[in-house]
Structures are given as structure tokens and as C-alpha cells.
Chain A
């Protein structure tokens, strides 16, 4: 069994509103899986179904090969987007209480929370109340609550919102460490930049439907446009020579090469900056050898679509 979580044909309707329309996802074991989509796409509904907070109208969810069952709550750790803890309860007491609700024994809960509090340098908060902590501190407590029972599946809904950059990177490292220790991570977010860095699998959701999913690298390959970003130095670094060079290139590259202006930083003021889409019967080397006759090339990079681009492109296509 290589897939930790499999959801098949999930449907969920609230009155006349369809929250999920025949949605299936597969989360491989040990992956960092990004569930992406704009607000209202149905991400939270899906996550709540995985957490057994709401029941699907139809469809099945399997965790580690078994149909989802109440006993699985202790295999799942969930950090909701809206973070929350009992404000007037002491931090240590609260962490232990929530861990025991997940099925840990009192001793085990104590031992593990000590470990985590020490690891994140929070030991002196133990007897403080949540309302005495800052928002970032409370978030760290929430993180411990999520991971304390060592779940196989960790679900984070918008994990980095509310963290300052230092704590965000700390939490990011902790999450990756947990993945290396064998946990599977499911992210839900509408912030694509965090996905680029961490996820190896993604699923795109839009208006209750899944519009795309797979390995991030495969998706990027599929969305490859064979476009290159090019910078060429002009002999005297003047605007006139740049215009001349631009006209030259536009003339000589026939219609099958798509040339568009590009924007990036170089060291000179008047470099020619263009994007060129290579036609099917040509290669990047052909382009390179043509361009090398025009001047000194200081920039030649393949344009890899960002998740943002893919997302916008996919949704527009739908």
C-alpha cells in the first residue's frame, strides 16, 4: 500500500449548494500534498470529511487501506485554519487534555508534551493561560496539539497564516522533519508560493470540482511552454542599439517563433530582454546558436510555469 489517503467520488451538498462534486484524491504515503484552490472551492469541506467532522453524502474515504472509521481520529492530526484553544485554561493542562481526547494515556501525554515544549523552548509557558500568550505563541501551542499524538496523517489548513517569518520557517522545518520521520502531510492553502517550496504532490480545486492533480514536477512538465527568457548585451549599451537589435531579431525570427518582451534585472541598462517560444521542429540549442551571432548572451533560462500560472491557466480553461 503506497497511498495513505484515498478519497473516492466524494459528494457533499448543503441544501441546494454543492460543496463537493464527485471529488477523488489520492495522497501517497510520505508525501507533502498540497490541496489548492481559491476560497470557497470546497477545500475545508473535504478536510472536514477526512476528519469525520462532516459526513459525505456519497463516496468513500480510505486511510491506510481501511475505510475511514472513528478509531482513525488518533491517526490524524488537524490544524484548522481558524486556530482556537480554551482561553482560560492553562497551556500544559490544555495540551494534555486535547492529547488524551486523541487517545493518549495521561503519562504518555505528559511525557510527549514535555518533549515538545522543551524542543520549541516553551517550557516556561506551561502554567500560563492561553489568553496571556501572544498570537504567535498560541500558534506554536496549536502546532504541538496537532502533532503530539504522532499521527500518520497531518492536515494543515493554511499553516503559515499568522506566523511571523521566523516562526513560519521554524514550523516549516518541523513539518518537513515530521515528514522525514514517516508522516504524510496534507496542506490546504490558496497561497501558491508556499506550495512551490514544500509540496511534491498537488490537487487543484475550483468550484467544488478537482480540476487538476498529480506530482508537482509532472504537472509542471505538462505545462511547459518551451519558452526561454533571454538577455543580450548591446555593443555600446545605448537605447538606439537596443532598438536596432530588437528590430533585427523580430525580422529574422520567422512567424513560427513567438517573441514577446520580458522583464528581469541585468547588470546593464540597455540589454535586449525578450521571451522566445520555440516551435516544435526546433530546439533551444538552435535558438542559442542563432542568438550568439547577435551579441553577448548574459541570460538564458527556461520559463518554468509557477503554480500560480498553472492555476490561473487551468481555471480559465475550465
Chain B
């Protein structure tokens, strides 16, 4: 085994046998599931119990017009008059009072809601819509329009999206694609930061342990740096593959579970449940329809490319400083492009996956791993993928070279906090 192989093996072993690596690999999928469940649970807690809204309708148009919903009861107290109703609301601690003035047909601005707390927007919008519909219908009736005729001519259109190869998608799958791309991009960012930091820490460790001089009297600093980066990359890939297996297993389990049971469910549960089931099934189907293999493949490609790019910068930073506390000033230029990529991804890509911003950022090497991953579920032309990967490879070769220059000098420098200017000078040594 050559020296590079030995270093890779040692670094890999050091990473993988680390307790936090093992915990993170096997525990974090559970933590993610747990978090989702917790958030769902907390959201359901957040919804208050049934609320009663008192209605005082002076126009008489809306008598019994408001239908109580799952969360809200409407109580008509129009005969009592506004003042009495107000005191009733306060006495009984009702949620609020909706007041509709007499001349509502001519002047719609008089509608008021009284209450201690502002109602949720969805509640307000619901009430507004009911008033609007009623008023519109009233006005139509006044002008002698037959409402049944309007109902009959109501048409709904739902566009189904299909690409030229005949693959069907739907609006919901658009969101799933965005979610899958976003998730992959976010994961990649986390991987780069976590594993980049590992490389940096291991460089600093060698420097503070002073073993560095012993090692580079045996191997070239470049080999040591590459061994470190490759060994850590392999550890990252190991973790990713384990997650993929766990995630794939869960998905397969879910798909099988839904496939096998729908018949029983159809008969056993009511109509509502069936449609809900159908929806979940659709979502799972959409997830299965995603270019998952392609996504996983390019995740690996971009992970390796992006990781090499960033970790050689991380290694150079580690070499330049004496301790982890000194790294702060150099972290900003590393974190910034990653954050930028995430924001561009979440705003530009989801809005318009093939727009010029999204396309440009999926070419710039510092952001392309994340942005391109987000675009992949929406379909990206092959030439763009090839170009983006090509640029990435070219620039990681450059940064590895550049980083190794700083690394080579930095690992032997002790005792002073370097500035950017000084680091640039090292390249010439």
C-alpha cells in the first residue's frame, strides 16, 4: 500500500471509529423522524379549542347564513342589538362579535369584528368570503339573474402537466420536487460544513500535536492533505449510503404498506379517510417517481466535487491557524457562498428552476453543488449538468493546488495569527 493509501485508511478509520460519527449516522435519521412528529404534534396543540363568534346582523340578510365549522360556532344575537350583544360576549367570554350594519348592500365598509384577540387570518377570510358570496348573489338576484343558471355554468379546470416524454406530473409533485431538491441541497451544505470542519480540526490537531513534522518528513504535504480529504470524503459517503439505505428502507416499507392495504381501508373507513389515503398514496407515488437514483448519483458527484473544493479551503485554514478559536475570521468566506447557494436555491430555483439566476448559480463552482442539486428534480438538460460538473472539477483542482500551497507553509508556522495578506505571501514561498 502506498503512503497515500495508508493515510486515507488512517483518516477513514479515525473518522468512522469516532463515537460522534456513529451516533450521528444511526441516530440522526431517528432524530429527523422524531422532529417531524414533534412539530406535527406541537402544531396540533397550537390550534385552540372551539370558538364562538356572536353575530349581530342588522340587515337581516345573513340570518343563519354563517355555517358553524369544526373550530367555530356562530351564534346569532341580532334581536338583542349591538350593545346588549357586546356585554353578552364579555360576560360569556366568547371569542368575538361580528357586526353587520343595515345598509351593507350599499356600503360594505361598515362590517366590524370586535374581540380581545385578532382572529386567525383563515377565519377572517372565511367570513369575508361568505359575506361576499351572499352579497354578490343578492345583487345578482336583484337584477333578475337566475342563480341556478350560474351554478350550472360554473366550470373548473385542472391543468395536468406532462413533459414531452409523456411523464405526468401534478402541482403537488412540483412541491415534492422542490422539497426533494431543497432537502438534498441542504443536506449537501450540512455535509460540506460538518466534514469540512472535520478536516480542519484534524489538520489543527496534527499541528498542535506537532506530529506534522514527523509525517511530512516521510510524505509530501500534498499527499497528506489529499489523504486527509479523501479519507474524510469516504467517511462522508459511508454515512450518506447508510442514510440512503435507512431512508430507502423506510420509503419502501411505506410504499408496500400502502399498496397492500388500500382495499381493507376502503371498506373499513369512511369516505374521508379514503381520499386522505389516496392523497398520501399519490405523494408516495410522486416521491417514487422522482429521479431518485439520478438525484442520489448527482448528490455523490456534487458532494465529492463540492467537498473537495471546500475542504481544501478548510484544510488551508486549519494549517494557517494554531487553534480552532483563531479560525473565525476565515470562516466567513466559506460559509457565505454556502448560505447564498441555499437562499438562491430556496427562492430562485423553486420559483423558476430554469431561470437565468438559477442557471447561473448552478454553474458557479462555489454554489453549483447545492443549487444544481435543487434543480435536478425539475429536470436539467444534460449539457448543463456536464458543464457544471466540468467547471466544478476544474475549480476543485485549482483550489486543491492553491490550498496545498498555503497548507504546506502553514503547517510549519507556529505562534502568530496570520492575516490574509500574509497567507497570500505564503503561496510564493
Contacts and interface: CB of A to CB of B under 8 A. Distances in A.
Nearest to A51: B217
A109 to B, nearest CB: 11
B217 A98 contact: no
A101 B3 CA distance: 5
A34 to B, nearest CB: 20
B14 to A, nearest CB: 8
Given A14-B429, A53-B412, A82-B210, A100 B6 contact: yes
A232 interface: no
B8 to A, nearest CB: 12
A98 B217 CA distance: 10
A78 B205 CA distance: 20
B246 interface: no
B215 interface: yes
Given A73-B218, A101-B3, A84 B10 contact: no
A82 B213 contact: yes
B219 A101 contact: yes
Interface in A55-98: 70, 73, 76, 78-80, 82-87, 89, 97-98
Most chain B beta-carbon contacts within 10 A, residue among A76, A83, A84, A101: A101
A283 B135 CA distance: 135
Nearest to A74: B218
B1 A98 contact: no
A188 B115 CA distance: 87
A145 interface: yes
A80 B429 contact: no
Given A15-B425, A97-B6, A102 B218 contact: yes
A148 B29 CA distance: 46
Interface string B374-394: 000000000000000000000
B217 A73 contact: yes
A150 to B, nearest CB: 14
- Which applies to chain B's interface (DSSP): helix, strand, loop or mixed? helix
A contact residues, range: 20 to 34
Interface string B31-69: 000000000000000000000000000000000000000
Nearest to B17: A88
Interface string B196-219: 000000000110011111111111
A86 B218 contact: no
B220 A70 contact: yes
Contacts of A78: 213-214, 217
Contacts of B6: 97, 100-101
Contacts of B10: 97
Contacts of B218: 73, 98, 101-102
A87 B207 CA distance: 12
Interface in B217-258: 217-220
B7 to A, nearest CB: 8
Contacts of A84: 206, 209-214
Interface string A130-155: 00000000000010010000000000
A89 B10 CA distance: 10
A85 B217 contact: no
Interface string B309-330: 0000000000000000000000
A142 B10 CA distance: 19
A112 interface: no
A86 B412 contact: no
A73 B216 CA distance: 10
Given A48-B412, A100-B6, A87 B209 contact: yes
B214 A53 contact: no
Contact of A53 (B14, B216, B425, B429): B216
15 contacts: A15-B425, A53-B213, A73-B217, A78-B217, A80-B213, A85-B209, A86-B206, A87-B205, A89-B14, A98-B218, A100-B1, A100-B6, A101-B7, A101-B219, A102-B218
